[in-house]
Amino acid sequence: MSRADFWEDQEKAQKILRDRSRVDEEIKNWLKKEEELEEILILSDFIRETEDTDDVEELVGRVKSLDESLGSYEIEMMLSGENDENNAIIFINSGAGGTEAQDWAEMLFRMYLKWAERKGFETQVVDMLSGEEAGIKNVTFLVSGKHAYGYLKCESGIHRLVRVSPYDANNRRHTSFASVYAYPEISEDIEVDIKEEDIRIDTYRSSGPGGQHVNRTDSAVRITHIPTGIVVQCQNERSQHKNKSMAMAILKSRIYQFEKKKQDEKMDTLNKEKKDIAWGSQIRSYTLHPYRLIKDHRTKHEEHNADAVLDGDIDAFIKEYLLYLTFNQKRKDN
């Protein structure tokens, strides 16, 4: 940054500034943890000398706080992928099963909103198609925050729910499926070539119940990328221009991920552990009847407090899957 020609290349300079800010923040966070540890050690020595038990509660609280902070830091250290720092675009689609599956899709949507709220992340609904009776057929939303994609990429796949249906008068047990796809929001400095002749843009009237998620105007935009068949929609904003801009940003992210996946598959065709996201290859099962258990089929991690998980407490699943990815990558490298 001290070089005389630093600002001649504005894009490169901005990237270096962002990198500097990220590294500076990481150093400050680590120094803060060292300071907290030093205070814990001083307080511990003080308690030993004075044998004052009144300070023990404060000591335990400080240790727990640092332990949680280091746990979060450990997860962040595993988020070193190409786009892990980016915001995340999440698409949830209900499977076959009508109202039951649509209700399950809405439950997952609520789970991720609660998780984002816990993290202090911002969320924005881009497009939502409500079910006829209840629930949602599909929803696209943006999660903005540090490492949002790095966390939520762990959620891509089929999610399976087993429960006694609240929509079945005979109280029978039902199995429902919903798919979750996570895409990184691509930064402006990454070029994705989208030719004008390769896209079809349609405008239509927004559907749904209205309210905070959907506006009932003629401003909704649907963009179809003809070569890949990728379709994106946005009806959140009242302005057609804003909806088009958001839809193009999502299309850019999906095409980038589509091309990246094709390259990964070419380079990794012998990797037998890599599965396509399809019905029957669920990544996680949520069993609410006859017992309560949530199990990740990739890592074998289990949680019995189903209510907490459905209220957004999914960090344990994310951490286990990141450890699973790290272990498999090391094994592959060796």
Residue 217 has pLDDT above 60, yes or no: no
If pLDDT is split at 50, 70 and 90, which confidence band does 176 have? very high
If pLDDT is split at 50, 70 and 90, which confidence band does 272 have? very low
DSSP letters for 130-186: E-SSSSEEEEEEEEESTTHHHHHGGG-EEEEEEEE-TT-TT--EEEEEEEEEEEEPP
Residue 225 has pLDDT above 70, yes or no: yes
Residue 162 has pLDDT above 90, yes or no: yes
Write down the pLDDT at residue 188.
Answer: 63
Residue 316 has pLDDT above 50, yes or no: yes
Write down the pLDDT at residue 210.
Answer: 46
If pLDDT is split at 50, 70 and 90, which confidence band does 189 have? low
Determine the average pLDDT of the residues in 124-141.
92
Write down the pLDDT at residue 60.
Answer: 92
Residue 9 has pLDDT above 70, yes or no: yes
Write down the pLDDT at residue 263.
Answer: 67
pTM above threshold 0.75: no
Residue 146 has pLDDT above 70, yes or no: yes
Residue 103 has pLDDT above 70, yes or no: yes
Choice between 43 and 168, residue whose per-residue pLDDT is larger: 43
Write down the pLDDT at residue 270.
Answer: 36
Task: Collect all residues with Cβ–Cβ distance below 8 Å to 116 and sequence separation of at least 6.
Answer: 122, 123, 143, 145, 148, 312
Task: Collect all residues with Cβ–Cβ distance below 8 Å to 220 and sequence separation of at least 6.
Answer: 203, 204, 205, 206, 207, 233, 234, 235, 240, 243
Among 86-95, 100-109, 140-149, 273-282, the range scoring the smallest mean pLDDT is 273-282
Mean per-residue pLDDT of the chain: 86
Residue 112 has pLDDT above 70, yes or no: yes
Choice between 117 and 246, residue whose per-residue pLDDT is larger: 117
Write down the pLDDT at residue 265.
Answer: 66
CB 164 within 8 A of CB 234: no
Alpha carbon separation from 26 to 12, 87, 146 (Å, rounded) = 21, 18, 12
Write down the pLDDT at residue 278.
Answer: 43
If pLDDT is split at 50, 70 and 90, which confidence band does 317 have? very high
Q: Which residue has the tokens 């500076």?
A: 24
Write down the pLDDT at residue 96.
Answer: 80
Write down the pLDDT at residue 65.
Answer: 92
Write down the pLDDT at residue 167.
Answer: 83
Write down the pLDDT at residue 276.
Answer: 42
User: If you count them, how many residues does the chain have?
Assistant: 334
Residue 49 has pLDDT above 50, yes or no: yes
pLDDT above 90 covers what percent of the chain?
48
Write down the pLDDT at residue 296.
Answer: 97
Task: Collect all residues with Cβ–Cβ distance below 8 Å to 126 and sequence separation of at least 6.
Answer: 89, 140, 141, 142, 233, 234, 236, 246, 247, 250
Q: pLDDT digits over 285-312, tens only?
A: 999 999 999 999 999 999 999 999 999 9
